[in-house]
Amino acid sequence: MKSNARVSIVALFLVVLVGSKAFVDGAGECGKTPIGSAASSLLPCLSAARNVKVKVPRLCCSKVNALIKSSPKCLCAVLLSPLAKLGGINPAIAVTIPKRCNIKNRQAGKKCGKYTIP
């Protein structure tokens, strides 16, 4: 599947997920924020989460930093979600984004599923 088509599918899935009342009412790893909303805020990170050689966009770093400050468990939940898998996210690469952004409070050494945050 071409990259643009994959991004379009992910974006469509996000719209459906965010609009679903079942996800809005629950309080999970992202608190009252639906995981789809948290995931959509990280769309600028897609290419960097697929390839470790891609420079992480400044907007991605800003979004990741804000998410770590507000809800560090949410970042991990998003990276390990079925939505991330659908978007072609490689969790082993995605967990490196905070380090690649030079985020100081990234909780280095903590586990995100089977992956350790560097």
DSSP letter for each residue of 85-118: HHTT--HHHHTTHHHHTT-TTS-TT-EETTEEP-
Average pLDDT, rounded, for the chain: 82
More confident residue, 38 or 17: 38
The pTM for the full model equals 0.75
* pLDDT at position 74 over 70: yes
pLDDT for the residue numbered 95: 94
Q: What average pLDDT does range 3-22 have in this prediction?
A: 49
The pLDDT score that the predictor gives to residue 22 is 40
